[in-house]
Structure 1
Amino acid sequence: MRIGENPTRDRLIEKSDSSHRIIIPLYIPHEKDYYKDAFKIFKLCVSSIMKTSSSIVKISVVSNGCSDSINERLLDIAKQGLIDELTIEKGAIGKVNSILKALRTAQERLITVTDADVLFVNGWEEGVLEVFNAFPKAGSVSPVPVFRTHLRLTSNIWLRNFFSKKLYFRAVKNPEGLTAFAKSIGWPDLELKFKDVIATIQSKNNTIAVLGCSHFVVTYKREIFDQSPKTNSIYQLGGNSEHLYLDEPVIKMGGYRLATYDNYAFHMGNVFEPWMEDVYENLEVIDKTVMDYNTLPFLKKKKLECFFSEKIFKKIFMKKKIRSLIFKYKGLNQEQIKNFVSW
């Protein structure tokens, strides 16, 4: 039996004061072995976002088959106000499908998709926004430059800037950042040949961005995902899922895949180390402001441009001799060319 009328009927939804949503897929099935430090690292990730973001951001966490004890702690974090949206999937639905859960109802102009083991540092949101503002065709921007991403779905950048000195190999701004990433994925160190120069593009206002970006933390313009497959991924992790759902849609929209020139986040991995706490404790708490990112230029589907750059130009570009000549034209010496072409 119903008595009276629901007070929310015909009431408009209040407009959000956020233009930026951050989506974190989380998989911690237990807290042993590989996952022993996972929740502690995840908490550092979320707390660092709250500390360093310059705008009012909304955080969505999708629990993808996490244990009951982890889910209980996630609910506590949500009650504390660190999480705006918490989705709990009892079964493991996979990383990309977890992202899609939050993405399909997200209306914010910018969407950051991040792994749960990323430590954000001061300036990350400003650095990403600077690249979006400087490059109208930017579709995705990572706050972490990674070595040797210059040929990962970047043919449209090379094609458009082939004769421009704005696209050039420059000295790496933060070699320690590249080394930190290499160590986080299990490398003992990073040889000099991987961190002396990096492929960059310079805007009209002299903002420098790095070509290409990795998957583990990237900010996207919302319209990028209009080109993602409508069905779910068949993979729990890996396969071609991130390529199809996160990478390829950028170039289908004619967008550039870029990273900031400086390093604004750290990939922590699955083992907690004291330096992580030290970095976090030294972060400055930033006052949040309401930002309207809808002023950023919108991208439109570029089917012909995508086909020409990826299927024709790229095929020519990837020939070893031609690539060597282009790399020389773009600032590499003979020894560097040898290293870049062989990688």
Structure 2
Amino acid sequence: MDVLKSCIGSLLSTVHNKTYISLVSNGSSRTTEDYLHQLYNEGVIHELILTNNIGKLNSIYKAIAGNNIPLITISDADVFFLAGWQEETYKVFNNFSKAGTVGLIPQFLSYQSYSQNLLFDNFFSNKLKFGLVKDPDGLRNFYESLGWKNDYPESRLKYILYLKKNGVESIVGSGHVVATYRRELFGNLNYFNPYKMGGDSERILDELAGRYDMYRLTTPINKAFHIGNKLPKEKFKKLNSDHNLVDIKIEFPRFTNEIKRTPKFLYSFKKNIIRTVLKSYKLRMLFLKQLGLPKPARKSF
């Protein structure tokens, strides 16, 4: 309960006043549902959906159905939002017309997962280059929250792959703990997923952008923390204390491109070409060299 309250508090203190907040309780305890009812009755959230054991993806579908909001942020219950996360998200959407999914938490090797179309399109482009990680502590904190030991290569805390445009950088790839999606990617939402967790339930979210030839990207700096089951340290709880929502100047994304589903043959072609490059050690090393990754770090990527 302390984790949940901390995370919801961080959300409420960092969003602009045009944000519609929908919470889904999927088999929560009575104590938790009483707390969520309190938030709804106080008017600090707009929608409360109570379900029981229908799975993550179907819970998401219920929250999305019935609205046509152009950008949808999907978050697990243990995500602590940092001040400015919406502004940074919108900046990525505004500068990369093919951005379909924008995450908030940078992760290791994110370019290798469901970003084959981006890598294919920019294979020889100087807009796609490795650069220095801007928030190593944020990366380290994410993997600590997953229970990882600190035995991964140090080079992964130093270098990450960026896509650059108009002087703006975004990290290639995205996780699914928290991310913002263009609404068109979800189509009509007229199907039920049989999995509670696992199966293809999260892969469906991961593949959405690529299926429409859009890109999965992440803000260049860490704008959220995955807490897990332990209450964060005091410094995390105070991160947003000086955030003044009155001062937020929102530049909403200006979408001019129409999203169309990628033909299956083209989606498979791009995916298979890049998969071949990444699976082959020699080809991957050449690719990483082209992308500007220093030689000592290549074996870790």
Tell whether 2:171 aligns with 1:171.
no
Unaligned runs of 5+ in 1: 1-38
Amino acid at match of 2:75: T
Q: What are the Cα deviations for residues 192-211 of structure 1, in whole angstroms up to 9, with x where unaligned?
A: 222110011101x1110001
Structure 1 residues 325, 44: CA separation in 2 closer, same or farther (over 3 Å shift)? same
Q: Distance in 1 between matches of 2:171 and 2:25?
A: 32
Aligned to 1:187: 148
Distance 1:149 1:252 in 2: 17
Structure 2 residue aligned with 1:235: 195
Q: Is this contact kept in 1: 2:22–2:48, CA < 8 A? A: yes
Contact 1:145 1:259 in 2 (8 A): yes
The DSSP-based 3-state class of the residue aligned with 1:144 is coil
Kindly provide the amino acid, as one letter, of the partner of residue 267 in structure 1. H
Q: Does the CA contact (< 8 Å) of 1:223 and 1:299 recur in 2?
A: yes
- Larger RCO of the pair (alpha carbons < 8 Å, separation 6+): 2
Residues 133-172 of structure 1 aligned to structure 2 (within 5 Å): 133-172=94-133
TM-superposed CA distance for 1:299, in Å, is: 2.0
Structure 1, residues 274-320: CA drift from partner, whole Å, max 9, x if none? Answer: 33653345341312678754646442222243222113443344322
Alignment of 1:186-265 (within 5 A): 186-189=147-150, 191-203=153-165, 205-226=166-187, 230-244=190-204, 246-265=205-224
Identity over aligned residues, as a percent? 34
Partner of 2:112, secondary structure, is coil
Separation (CA, whole Å) in 2 of partners of 1:237 and 1:279: 33
One-letter amino acid of the counterpart of residue 285, structure 1: N
Matched, 1:332 2:259: no
Cα distance in 1, alignment partners of residues 5 and 13 from structure 2: 12
Deviations 1:121-153 (A, max 9, x none): 111101111010110000000121111111111
Cα shift at 1:98? 0.6
Larger Rg: 1
Give, in angstroms, the shift of residue 273 of structure 1: 3.1
Out of 6, 11, 19, the position equivalent to 1:57 is 19
Secondary structure, counterpart of 1:71 in structure 2: helix
Aligned match of 2:243: 284
Question: Is the Cα–Cα contact under 8 Å of residues 254 and 305 in structure 1 kept in the other structure?
Answer: no
Contact 2:79–2:225 under 8 Å retained in 1: yes
Q: Give distance in 1, aligned partners of 2:293 and 2:249.
A: 42
**C-alpha spacing 1:259/1:221, structure 2 compared with 1 (3 Å):** same
Q: Which deviates further from its counterpart, 292-301 or 103-112?
A: 292-301
Alignment deviations for residues 172-215 of structure 1 (CA, whole Å, 9 cap, x no partner): 01111101111111124365222110011101x11100011111
Amino acid at match of 2:82: V
Q: Given residue 145 of structure 1, which amino acid in structure 2 is its aligned partner?
A: P
Q: 1:292 to 1:179 in 2, by over 3 A?
A: closer
Q: Which residue number in structure 2 is paired with residue 20 of structure 1?
A: none
Report if the CA contact (8 A) 2:101-2:209 is conserved: yes
> Alignment RMSD, CA only?
2.0
Match of 2:259 in 1: 299
Cα gap change, 1:289/1:59 in structure 2, threshold over 3 Å: closer, same or farther?
A: farther
Structure 1 residue 126 corresponds to structure 2 residue 91: no
CA 1:85–1:291: 2 relative to 1, 3 Å? farther
State the partner residue of 2:61. Answer: 100
**TM-score (norm. length: structure 1):** 0.81
| CA displacement at 1:334 relative to structure 2 | 2.5
Which structure 2 segments of 5+ residues have no match? none
Following the alignment from structure 1 to structure 2, what is the Cα–Cα distance between the partners of residues 100 and 134?
28
CA 1:227–1:335: 2 relative to 1, 3 Å: farther
